[in-house]
Amino acid sequence: MAIPDYQSLMLPVLRLAATGEKRVADVSERIADEFGLTTAEREELLPSGRQRVLNNRIHWAKFYMSKAGFLASPSRGKFVATEQGIALLATKPERIDVALLMQSPEFRDFYVGGKDSDTDAGKIDAASALSDSDIGATTPEEQIEAAYQAVLTVLRADLLDRISQNSPTFFEKLIVELLVAIGYGGSHKNAAMQLGRSGDGGVDGVVNEDRLGLDRVYIQAKRYAPTNSVGRPDVQAFVGSLVGLGATKGVFVTTSTFSSQARDFVKHLAQRVILIDGHQLAELMIEHNVGIRTSRAIEFKRLDEDFFSEE
């Protein structure tokens, strides 16, 4: 038989994860046996030639179920069923798919980007929520865009997951890389000499705003869990440090989110303070190619009407 789609793999993956911690490689052969896949099907690669199709689909099944709360990652590369996932299996579902996962508020928020639908970003992320039933109603370009946005959604989540697995020192270096890529600090050497080594209370570092050093930007970096939102007190303390330093510009970066009170607080300050949450951090890393690499470029071509014009 053909290799099952990722939604058809969700239930088998969850069943295996309910027996203990697993890796994708651990469950791949067992699932292949369960579906009676041939040797050729087991070894079939994606068009990029970098990963097996079966492993890729298991990864997507695992990733989506983790966002719905049915799987957890106890350590890097491993996954296991949560109490919620075991409870779902107890209901003896015939199938687990995106439609079922959408019943989970956490998954629904993730799938549509957790944004208001009337914002541009929300409209873009909402495109990734096209279900299988929507595919027949969309143009090929819409399907491609939806798939591209879905891949970006996963990449953002993967970036934040990997940041959380690394050390605070690594996070400081990441901020250096990002600020230099954006254009601050002048060079990696100059930025690294200042960020994380300012010695000033209440800030993690300072970088030049431009290559000439005409102005400085003070940095606060907090590597928090997604559920640990940065509140107004933390931001207010950072602003207090800026006042004490006579600084007018600051950037507060976190891997989590900022509370609405924190965001409201910085709107009417004499100082210019920018708040960068985890979503924006991942977006900037993708935009400036920090911590990522291009695996494949796809070129789309259109008919050249000017070429065929005989006027």
Angle of the 53-67 helix axis to the 140-165 helix axis, nearest 10 = 70
Q: Exposed, middle or buried, 283 (CB in 10 Å: 0-12/13-18/19+)?
A: middle
- pLDDT of the residue at 188: 65
The pTM of this model reads: 0.68
**CB proximity list for 89: less than 8 A, separation 6 or greater:** 14, 15, 18, 81
**Could you read off the pLDDT of 83-111 as tens digits, one per residue?**
999 999 999 999 999 999 999 988 988 88
Q: Between these two residues, 151 and 114, which has the higher pLDDT value?
A: 151
- pLDDT of the residue at 311: 66
Which has the closest alpha carbon to 291: 191, 208, 181?
181
- pLDDT of the residue at 125: 42
**Could you read off the pLDDT of 145-177 as tens digits, one per residue?**
778 888 888 999 999 989 988 888 888 788 888
Which has the closest alpha carbon to 224: 157, 277, 153?
277
- pLDDT of the residue at 201: 54
Whether the Cβ atoms of residue 43 and residue 74 lie closer than 8 Å to each other = no
Q: Answer whether residue 266 shows pLDDT above 90.
A: yes
Helices (H), 212-268: 232-245, 260-265
CA-CA-CA-CA torsion for 51, 284, 109, 101, nearest 10 degrees?
Answer: 0
**CB proximity list for 97: less than 8 A, separation 6 or greater:** 7, 8, 10
Q: Round to whole Å and give the CA distance between 176 and 97.
A: 41
What sign does the dihedral 21-26-28-34 (CA atoms) show? Answer: negative
